[in-house]
Structure 1
């Protein structure tokens, strides 16, 4: 199996080779006497540049310089540029003297200084590109990790909300059955059957993020059938569901939670009972769900209650600001809970 060449070595060799070719083009363009030794020296200096910057990279990796704070990285970049450029200049001088005979030149010191300046610029650019590349990669990785963490937190929060909803519902349903055990065993057995249907549905809801409104209505009908046994004529149930709304997706157990909230905090507080009316329709790009129940807003709306707070949290986590939730009270002893969920043109819920 052929070992894959890392992107570092491709860029490393390509960069230094490009610098060598560019220098040769300038030399040929402006020099009056082209000598073969210039190309030999230039090629050797290219190899020296590849070698010394590879060693610099090994030093950076070995001492985890990229993991240091930004201030220390900048300090290392400047210091290493000075040191490595001096070493590269000395290596170039030795190579030049080895291939070309040294000459007595009164202007040698300015030439050496100029050679160091060129080496400094080249190493500085190399360092800058190397650190900038890894800084960008590190920043992108941190953003990706943060996004994954936020996604995981949202998923865990949704699961936590669900684990609160189901026991909350179960205990209320069992409380309803408790009233019937001695009073009417036949109805109690019917209530247990309804409860088994609901428990099966609630357990299945743990594994899904959304479900069809039609399926949610089946759960709500089972729940209301159970409550109807408890309240008898005190509970009046009405449905107003448009056909095109049935296939729309909603958070599982959300509708049941809101219906339960209306009965527990509204209708059950009234001696004469009341009405619970469920409506659903599609308006443009939204699924609209209204739950109307008899009661007072201050009784139905409890900002610390889990049913309301949990529903708000679920909608916020799943749809952000695209979904809307509100509870309104009216003077005729009616409370309406409104849920507005965005949908795509194909009928699925926007997430």
Structure 2
């Protein structure tokens, strides 16, 4: 983490790379001097030349900051000119160091000799400039990439929340109507119990972050609250059965993933039959997958290629989109005909356990 913060600090990164680069230059310069059997005093010249290069290249940073937003042609021209001028000035200092220290105060016949080997110094400064711009463009691209990833994450979270909140309130009006009816017929105890369960269910649905997962045990408790509310409406017409393997209780699942499936069964299987019907939930583990099956014994529906075709039905489509957003391709949601009648929904998702934050 400290190294990542250091990399993100552009100022510290510049001084580190700048100093390391000139140290590397001095090291290569020293190793190459060993081939020529020079006196030990040449090490001092190497140090002074590297230090001079370190100093002369610092102003380039501020010049390039100034021209950063220029057109590419103007930037290229600025880089060449500044690298040439800086390279020549640096070469003059290098020659003076060499003549004063190694040649004991030697003076050339013509002033032009002070710029001897200036082309080499120009190439070094040009390399420094290219490295500077390359690093800056790389940092810019990395920043843009982070911005894109952050934007995608925000959009992803917004999509999940939208899908999640679209699922919750479908049964609310029916429940409130049922409570109103109970109050009118003076079934106050039942109405009070129904209000309490509705309050607990809504608290669960609103408190749970759609970006986080919950234990299956918690999700089943919420589903039972929802079905208990519906039982007040349908009484004996609604039968509910749960078959959950013990090793699946603490498995992690998306919050409110089962309620829309049960809601579909209530709407299209229980409510449309005079005698009502049954909803059965089976949960098991197979290998590394968690398997959830919800079935009803209603009149069935038109099913093609694992998709359910019902007018105004959005619950299953949203459930599939939520699973897609959370698990990518590592899930399946298949709708099929139940035997002897009704609809069966099978969900497969990765079996995960862990601590809920």
TM-score range normalised by the length of the shorter chain: 0.7 to 0.9
Q: 1:304 to 1:42 in 2, by over 3 A?
A: farther
Unpaired runs of at least 5, structure 1: none
CA displacement at 1:34 relative to structure 2: 4.9
Q: 1:207 to 1:325 in 2, by over 3 A?
A: closer
TM-score (norm 2): 0.77
Q: 1:275 to 1:137 in 2, by over 3 A?
A: same
Deviates more, 1:206-215 or 1:125-134: 206-215
Question: d(CA) in 2 for partners of 1:143 and 1:292?
Answer: 45
CA displacement at 1:280 relative to structure 2: 0.8
TM-score (norm 1): 0.78
Which of the pair is proportionally richer in helix? 1
Match of 1:117 in 2: 119
Match of 2:135 in 1: 133
Q: Does 1:334 align with 2:337?
A: no
Q: Secondary structure at the match of 1:321?
A: coil
CA displacement at 1:196 relative to structure 2: 2.7
CA displacement at 1:87 relative to structure 2: 4.3
Q: Secondary structure at the match of 1:328?
A: strand
Q: Deviation per CA, 1:187-219, whole angstroms, max 9, x where unpaired? A: 434433332332232233248722222222222
Question: d(CA) in 1 for partners of 2:324 and 2:61?
Answer: 47
Match of 2:21 in 1: 15
Q: Is the 8 A contact 1:238 1:278 kept in 2?
A: yes
Q: Deviation per CA, 1:28-56, whole angstroms, max 9, x where unpaired? A: 5326x7595x6666555434322221010
Q: Secondary structure at the match of 2:212?
A: coil
Q: Is the 8 A contact 1:235 1:274 kept in 2?
A: yes
Unpaired runs of at least 5, structure 2: 1-8
Match of 1:191 in 2: 194
Q: Secondary structure at the match of 1:103?
A: coil
Q: Is the 8 A contact 1:249 1:349 kept in 2?
A: no
Match of 1:224 in 2: 227
Match of 2:107 among 97, 101, 125: 101
Q: Is the 8 A contact 1:181 1:188 kept in 2?
A: yes
Q: 1:209 to 1:127 in 2, by over 3 A?
A: same
Q: Is the 8 A contact 1:292 1:334 kept in 2?
A: yes
Q: Deviation per CA, 1:104-161, whole angstroms, max 9, x where unpaired? A: 69xx88x967x13211221122122222223333333333333333333333333333
The total of aligned residue pairs comes to 337
CA displacement at 1:57 relative to structure 2: 1.0
Q: Does 1:212 align with 2:212?
A: no
